[in-house]
Amino acid sequence: MSDSVVRVALLGGGTVGSQVARLLTDSAEDLQARVGAPLELVAVAVRDVNKPRPGIPSELLTDDPFAVVKREDVDIVVEVMGGIEPTKELLEVALRNGASVITANKALLSEHGAGLHEIAFQNGVDLFYEAAVAGAIPLLRPLRESLAGDRVQRVLGIVNGTTNYILTKMDEEGADYDEVLAEAQRLGYAEADPTADVEGHDAAAKAAILATLAFHSSVTLSDVHCEGISSVTLRDVEAARDLGFVIKLLAVAERTSDSGIVTRVHPAMVPRSHPLASVRDAFNAVFVEAESAGPMMFYGRGAGGEPTASAVLGDLVSAARNRRAGASGQAQSIYAGLTPRPVGQATTRYTVNLDVVDRPGVLAQVATCFGDHDVSIQTVRQDTDEQSGRAALLIRTHAASEADLAATVDALRDLDIVNEVAAVMRVEGEE
Ligand code: NAP
Ligand code: HSE
């Protein structure tokens, strides 16, 4: 085993990268003791070398990331700059050049993870990405290693800190959506383009990574059904509260009965009594249900520079130990080959809000419409407005497939007695 220095290069010195650089200095002695050799930061690639970056020696800065990944003396490249290009090419060059790679880049992994894994395997180096999903929470390693002997059935959770922060502030303070989003950006939770957060793309990328690991099958971003929170209004949040629910952006990946996987991201109502309801601010929580282990919950800080840097450092220590031991990278485990299925095959419960004409026989027509499409009604609440002659119906269903529910909603829209299908919301979690 070599006792020489392990040389580390950083691609990116922003929210996460600056904290990785700081921890490499502040925790140098502990890291050395844990790895068995010192970790030396030898380069930091950024866009603007003239920006003040306290704690990063200016002689390490460069605006040429390709020169960094081509260096022969770099053992581990830490990628925290984000984006697909040129990042993908940079990491391919680094891996082919014999460096192990640590990345927090879920967008890249969810589209090009398989190709990067293949290059890492061919070159006998590690590709680790604990920070890419749920920030500081140790989740990917437990899925890949601790649960390697079990059979995961379902993964469900809150994996985007920005949207959870926004929904929490809307629920608890009636806060304005745009103001809270700006606050989440200031706090370093949001992506460079926060559309990725609010439209659910960031959570969908994480869901694809989780599904791939949980089910030993290839799941990419395009396999994930994705709806964000931009259409969730304060009225929706308040209506959910009146019913004893809170709205959360959930990521769900589950096996289907026909050897498939459905992976979806969307807002859903969660009962206040459910543990996910109390996951506030930028915290994340993920439930994993495995055949032998049963249900498990992983909870912690899901975003922010320092928490994310913690996960990066954990990977860094593992990769550095492997290099010292001469251990080679593992192939990606996608042997099971479960097929991604359309969201129509997913099954969950729903609330449907209807604005209907208030006259005899309306409830019967509505109920028939649900029954005709195999969707069973659990409860109905009617609020009548005598003056307008209209009624608001709140219908809660038992579990039904997304396809059947969608067909029901289409048929409801065609009924003369339905003025409007005002809202449809999924319900997850036992009450
Ligand atoms: P950030 O604050 O925007 O930092 C990006 C860094 O990369 C900056 O230092 C930037 O340089 C540099 N950079 C960008 N493009 C570059 C290029 N073409 N060449 C050289 N340098 C370049 O982003 P961040 O929040 O740290 O996130 C970085 C990555 O971590 C992303 O993949 C993100 O999804 C992931 N992540 C973030 C969090 C979080 O909470 N923030 C959590 C988990 C994962 P300048 O400083 O000169 O602009
Ligand atoms: N923008 C991401 C979030 C960062 O808000 O969760 C953590 O991956």
Name the average pLDDT for the chain: 96
pLDDT digits (tens, 9 = 90+) for 379-410: 999 999 888 999 999 999 999 999 999 999 99
| Domain residue ranges of the chain, discontinuous segments joined by + | 6-136+306-325, 143-301, 346-427
* pLDDT digit string, tens, across residues 184-242: 999 999 999 999 999 999 999 999 999 999 999 999 999 999 999 999 999 999 999 99
Return the pLDDT at 430. Answer: 79
CATH topology of domain 143-301: Dihydrodipicolinate Reductase; domain 2 (3.30.360)
pLDDT at position 309 over 60: yes
The confidence score (pLDDT) of residue 386 equals 86
Instruction: Give the pLDDT confidence score for residue 208 in this predicted structure.
Output: 98
8-55 pLDDT, tens digit per residue, is 999 999 999 999 999 999 999 999 999 999 999 999 999 999 999 998
Q: Is the pLDDT of residue 80 over 60?
A: yes
Mutate to test the pocket of ligand 2, among 16, 105, 162 (most ligand atoms within 8 A of CB): 162
- Output the 3-class SS for the chain: CCCCCEEEEEECCCHHHHHHHHHHHHCHHHHHHHHCCCEEEEEEECCCCCCCCCCCCHHHEECCHHHHHCCCCCCEEEECCCCCCCHHHHHHHHHHCCCEEEECCHHHHHHHHHHHHHHHHHCCCCEECHHHCCCCCCCHHHHHHHCCCCCEEEEEEECCHHHHHHHHHHHHHCCCHHHHHHHHHHCCCCCCCCHHHHCCHHHHHHHHHHHHHHHCCCCCHHHEEECCCCCCCHHHHHHHHHCCEEEEEEEEEEECCCCEEEEEEEEEEEECCCHHHHCCCCEEEEEEEECCCEEEEEEEECCCHHHHHHHHHHHHHHHHHHHHHCCCCCCCCCCCCCEECCHHHCEEEEEEEEEEECCCCHHHHHHHHHHHCCCCEEEEEEEEECCCCEEEEEEEECCEEHHHHHHHHHHHHHCCCEEEEEEEEEECCCC
CA of 166 to the centre of ligand 1 (A): 22
Query: To test ligand 2's pocket by mutation, which of 197, 201, 229, 280 has the most ligand atoms within 8 angstroms of CB?
Result: 197
Interval between CA 411 and ligand 1 midpoint (Å) = 47
pLDDT at 1 over 70: no
206 is catalytic: yes
Reported as a single tens digit per residue, the pLDDT across 334-354 is 999 999 999 999 999 999 999
CA of 16 to the centre of ligand 1 (A): 7
Give me the pLDDT at residue 277, please. Answer: 97
Per CATH, the number for 346-427 is 3.30.70.260
pLDDT tens sequence across 228-238: 999 999 999 99
Could you identify the atom of ligand 2 that is nearest to the CA of residue 104? 8
Using the mean position of ligand 2's atoms as its centre, give its distance from the Cα of residue 62 in Å: 26
Atom of ligand 2 nearest to the CA of 189: 5
Ligand 2 atom with the smallest distance to the CA of 284 is 6
Active-site option among 106, 169, 206, 248: 206
Predicted confidence (pLDDT) at residue 142 exceeds the cutoff of 90: yes
- The structural architecture, per CATH, of the domain 6-136+306-325 is 3-Layer(aba) Sandwich (3.40)
Could you tell which of 109, 181, 187, 191 is best to mutate to test the pocket of ligand 2, judged by most ligand atoms within 8 Å of the CB?
191
Q: What's the 263 CA to ligand 1 centre distance in angstroms?
A: 27
Q: Is residue 3 pLDDT above 60, yes or no?
A: no
